[in-house]
Amino acid sequence: MRSQFRALVLLVLIALALGSNGLAQEFRIPEISELPRVEKNSPRPSTYHLRNSAFILKFKKDEPRGNGYVILTDHTEAGYLQSLERLSKHRKGTIIKTKDLANVHQPEILEELRNKLKKLKPKYVALAPRMESYRENMVLGAWELLTTLDEDRYLDAYPGILLASSSASFKQLIERSINYQSIPQTKLKPFAISQVPSNTESRSLQKAGILRNFFASYGIKTPTVAIYTPSATNAPQLKGDDLWEIRLSRKGNFIKKFDPKPRQALHDSQLVIMHGHGIPGMSCSVDIDGIPTKSKNQVILSGSCFSAVPM
């Protein structure tokens, strides 16, 4: 009996080892239409869908309270304020100044700003913090502010953040906002970056595959970089064109410079989608120095913690 028990324990340990660092689990790219839409009262998704986060949160339509445009800022320098005044004039908006947006989560400041926004009834709220004010508490406080303008728990205005490290860069940002024009669908150039941490953690790769298939249905190519950590020795792989794989030699060896072809594709893309983990200064195994500071990137969607974006 003792020897049988030892054998059973050994089999369990082998299974656990294979599950974390050995053979990769079944890997497939589902169609978007296959993914269940879930909300609070939805039936529990299957184990497969939960393990791979292969579901989509169901949203409820919630219209903003009004049609106004409001800018919240703690800037005091003339260069920044001139740009904000130009934006406000263009949008026929209102500027609300507060001493420090980093403290927007404080109850007394939250209540003061909430009362002002209730009176103005904005459809859009642009947050223009100083660099030193742009912290996690500011983002969380702004979220609380904009979800408590009425009784429900949904956003009551469309938010945006206007942030730059100098008044000159800020002016350029405002000018781009004012002169914004949508691009034709056929001109869109997306780019995906997926981090594969281990043999069993392939969700980011799966998401890249879903994006590639989705954009391909509109005739749009999605160049993709898949970055494999040292633990991902037997992880799944995507197939197709415009696909580059990077194998890291050791933990913490983040990408600071891409090879010429993926670097050019990243430089030329307007939409960058990144899936993976992050720490301060790194997102999806890409060091902040690996993200081009001068590129055609207009939108970067990063799902990792501590997303790194050059300023």
233-267 pLDDT, tens digit each: 999 999 999 999 999 988 878 999 999 999 999 99
Report which of residues 119 and 152 the model is more confident about: 119
What tokens does 166 get? Answer: 């100098």
What are the C-alpha distances in Å from 112 to residues 116, 149, 244? 7, 12, 51
CA 250 to mean position of chain CA atoms: 26
pTM: 0.73
pLDDT (average), residues 11-37: 61
Q: How confident is the model at residue 39 (pLDDT cuts 50, 70, 90)?
A: confident
308 pLDDT above the threshold of 80: no
- For 264-297, the pLDDT digits (tens) are 999 999 999 999 888 888 888 998 888 887 777 7
Domain region containing 276: 185-302
Considering the domain boundaries, does residue 39 fall inside one? no
Amino acid 228: pLDDT: 94
**pLDDT higher than threshold 70 for residue 62:** yes
**Residues 155, 88: one domain?**
yes
pLDDT of 153 over the 80 cut: yes
Name the more confident of 3 and 32: 32
* Closest to 98 in 3D by CA, of 78, 123, 119, 72: 72
| Separation CA 306–CA 299 (nearest Å) | 17
Whether 174 and 209 map to the same domain: the answer is no
Q: Total structural domains in the chain? A: 2
Lowest mean pLDDT among 62-76, 200-214, 242-256, 296-310: 296-310
Q: Percentage of residues in the chain with pLDDT exceeding 70?
A: 89
Q: How far apart are the first and last CA of the chain?
A: 65
Domain limit, last residue, from 114, 148, 178: 178
Residue 7 identity (one-letter amino acid): A
The pLDDT mean for the chain works out to 86
SS3 content of the chain, % helix, strand, coil (to 5): 35, 20, 45
pLDDT at 132 over 50: yes
Of the three residues 148, 178, 208, the one that is the final residue of a domain is 178
Q: Say which amino acid occupies 27.
A: F
Same-domain check for residues 201 and 283: yes
